[in-house]
Structure 1
């Protein structure tokens, strides 16, 4: 005797409704894990644990929303062909310096007619 089944009340997922994360052609791949964290530490040490833009001391830890107090920023963005080399990295305090640079880059993408005014989800390193 077959067992009765429950019908799902959840709508079917349409693949067209899910934003696909794609690497842009020519973009430098994102680094992750312990190698990235060690590089991030070296960059902060090179700048004397100060924001490259405003000079404020960088704080360890995370803000209440989970973001790091500072970001290891690509001077020339990966999207524009910038490398993950330490010479292309700078520490920026998340607020306001990194947020301002990100907004400026988004405005430049919009002016160029790039596909999206938002940065790639993986561009802000922690």
Structure 2
């Protein structure tokens, strides 16, 4: 029986060959997608301090405890909001201004975050394809 062909690392843009499907040694993570606080900093080190708690309460009160996400508005759906979300993420230049914050339901927040991550991953790297017995990386767009 022939040997199994190598796989490509799942990290967007990497392209390194791996013996098993998954990540190469450079991108292998220790279980799960969550990083411990010692790596990403505590909530206070990331800017979620007492001032954030006051802002959070103000945003939830403004929304009267109801979800303000785009999906709920589009579907005319009513859900209880327990979290506050940045409409434009801080990583993408968003701020903590009230205009950029919305009260959001936990499930809506997870779905929005998942969509944002999927878009970022698609934009970050081309997808390798199996063509004629070999993995081929498409040329990068400029």
| TM-score normalised by length of structure 2 | 0.50
Q: Please give the alpha-carbon distance, in whole angstroms, between the structure 2 residues aligned to 1:46 and 1:36.
A: 15
Equivalent position of 2:102 in the other structure: 90
Change (3 A) 1:33 1:21: closer
Considering only aligned residues, what root-mean-square deviation do their CA atoms show, in Å? 2.6
The answer to whether residue 115 in structure 2 is matched with residue 104 in structure 1 is yes
Equivalent position of 1:77 in the other structure: 89
* Aligned length in residues: 81
Deviation (angstroms), 1:31: 2.4
Greater Cα offset, 85-94 or 46-55? 46-55
Q: Which has the higher contact order (CA 8 A, sep 6+)?
A: 1
Looking at secondary structure, tell me which structure has more strand per residue.
2
SS of 1:99's partner is helix
Unaligned runs of at least 5 residues, structure 2: 1-28, 73-77, 126-142
Given that 1:40 and 1:72 are in contact with CA atoms closer than 8 Å, whether structure 2 keeps it comes out as yes
Given that 1:31 and 1:84 are in contact with CA atoms closer than 8 Å, whether structure 2 keeps it comes out as no
Map 1:10-89 onto structure 2 (within 5 A): 20-21=39-40, 30-53=46-69, 54=72, 55-58=78-81, 70-89=82-101
Equivalent position of 1:121 in the other structure: none
Deviation (angstroms), 1:57: 2.6
Deviations 1:77-125 (A, max 9, x none): 1110000111100011111x001100101101101117xxxxxxxxxxx
